[in-house]
Structure 1
Amino acid sequence: MTKITYWFLGLIVCALSCTQFKKVAFKAENYIPISGSEFYRIATSFSVKQRDSLFLALANEGNIPAFFQKFVPINTKLKDKNGILHQVKFYVSPDYLMIGSNKDYARVPVSPFTAQVLADKMNCFLPTALIVDQIYLHSKHQLSPIPMFAFRDSTPTFWQHHLMIEGQLRNKGKGLVAGIKKDLIICSERYFKGKTNRVAIYGWHKLDGKPIQPIYTGHIDSYVDYSHGARFIYRIIEVDGKKYDYEDLLLNPTFKYLLTNDDAPTITKYPYSLQSLE
């Protein structure tokens, strides 16, 4: 290769190594672009299963906005079981799971199973309540929750809620967004009370930093409404500069408290099983 070629490649390597963001994506085949608004036009009268199936098929084709795949670093200090502070770094999606392009996208609430399939494909996991709190503390845009009361689980309500959030974000620019959804989370087994067909949700922080929704597992895992959102966390987490897989941290009796405040075993993904029933 010529000197110019080496110089150009050097610039690329430098640019990639110096970025503060992390690109988390997957390869797509037979890509047919679809916009967020078009997705909602097609799915207007769909059932939960039909809507989730369409979303998953389109997402697998690559119809996830590029900016969603540009994960934001969270640098924080957290205590382990012994009260020792550690420098912890993890990467999070800048917003909630969505469909479309950078110019025409839409947030789409999905079941925990659909969220998990895509999270696995992107080498990610769903957050714990502790991580949700950290994301809110470090977010650039802390928005006020917008409750809706009629037809909460209907596709048109999902679309209207998305548009209302976009109204809140108008002229604010890009950046880490929080406060707009209840997160699908992983959590301690004790919250499931022996039931293996539930979804755990948490969050929807108010402007005072307090969540409207405590950890809740009252919904069956096929229930989805407008307030639910799936945020992805890159599965490799740095603790004092050393890299760990999130599942290894949750199994570590000392370090698990960097990700959760609960002593009991934590489910790490959906569908889940409970050690207490095994």
Structure 2
Amino acid sequence: MTDVPRGTDFVARLPERACAAREDALLEAVQAGHLAPISWLPVHSEHGEHRATFLVSADALRIGDTHDSVRINASARTTQRMADQLECAMLTTRLCDLVWEQATVRILPCFGAPDPTMANTSRMLEHHRRVEERVAGRTGLIENVGKHWVLTNRLAGRRDRAANYGWFDPGAAHRHGRHPLWQPLGLAHDLDHVDYSQVVRLVRRRCTVDDAERDLLEVMTDPALAGLVSSEGPLRVLRQPGVPEDA
């Protein structure tokens, strides 16, 4: 593994406009181990008589070192490839809800102008800095660090679509499940959409269910256990459609 670059230096070298080259550079940085240390924190779930603990990244993924790192924006395609690299899975809406409920650091969403520049690298850095200001050095399970790409059965057979969810806020206009939020589950974007709000938060494949180690993907499909991680019953979509496992 090469020396980890400063996050601001890395971002400064990225193309300003969203493009395949920028996505490739982000993925290559993850593959090279250039992520700031990830704190995997327990998120607990109950369903009927079953109890589970999932390990979720405490924050959005950040490229850089312990002193200088930046939360990255990535497409759903790249997020799935990062998940594969890190032996993780993408979140579900239920996991997002649990993160919000159990977060020890809660901040309001950092809205930006929905204009033609919203996918630019400078907007990525601006959003990161605004989140940093609101977090104000606090540590623990943090939300809202951005919106999340998620798995949902609504993606079944939709190889051209991605699903996003998040931005919890008591004053939000929408409600998908138990909490008001600005981004209910939506399939408006394709696999390669990216903007300043779409960060990368992952959950590790290895989890604990009823005191036994399990693979999260098995839990997602088990009729008796799926409710621990899904609000839709057993999941038929375990990875982002349209992204092959060897991509």
TM-score by length of 2: 0.88
Kept in 1, the 8 Å contact 2:170–2:181? The answer is no
The CA distance in 2 between the partners of 1:194 and 1:87, in whole Å, is 31
State the Cα deviation string for residues 64-92 of structure 1 (Å, max 9, x = none): 011x2x2111233x22xxxx232211111
Q: CA deviation at 1:229?
A: 1.5
Question: How big is the shift at 1:221?
Answer: 0.8
Structure number with greater Rg is 1
Alignment: residue pair count: 234
The alpha-carbon deviation at position 236 of structure 1 amounts to 1.6
Segments ≥4 residues shifted beyond 6 Å = none
**Aligned position for 2:227:** 257
Find out whether 1:235 has 2:200 as its counterpart: no
Are residue 213 (structure 1) and residue 188 (structure 2) matched?
no
Residues in 1 aligned to 2:98 and 2:21: alpha-carbon distance in whole angstroms = 34
- The answer for the alignment partner of 2:123 in structure 1 is 157
Q: 2:138 maps to which residue?
A: 173
Shift of 1:144: 0.2
Deviates more, 1:176-185 or 1:204-213: 204-213
Tell me the SS of whatever aligns to 1:226.
coil
Cα distance in 1 between the residues matched to 2:218 and 2:155: 22
**8 Å Cα contact 1:111-1:222 kept in structure 2:** yes
How many percent of aligned residue pairs carry the same amino acid?
23
1:93, distance to aligned residue in structure 2 (A): 0.6
Provide the C-alpha distance between the structure 1 equivalents of 2:157 and 2:4, rounded to a whole number of angstroms: 42
Alignment match, 1:198 = 161
| Structure 1 residues 132 and 94, CA gap change in structure 2 (3 angstroms) | same
* Deviation at residue 230 of structure 1 after TM alignment: 1.5
Whole-Å Cα distance in 2 between the matches of residues 265 and 238 of structure 1? 18
Task: Give the distance between the partners of 1:224 and 1:55, measured in 2 at CA.
Answer: 13
1:71: which partner in 2? Answer: 40
- 1:185 aligned counterpart, secondary structure: strand
Aligned to 2:13: 42
AA in 2 matched with 1:39? F
Secondary structure of 1:161's counterpart equals: helix
Residue aligning to 1:141: 105
Contact 2:223 2:234 in 1 (8 A): no
Q: Which has the higher helix share?
A: 1
Gaps of 5+ in 2: 172-178
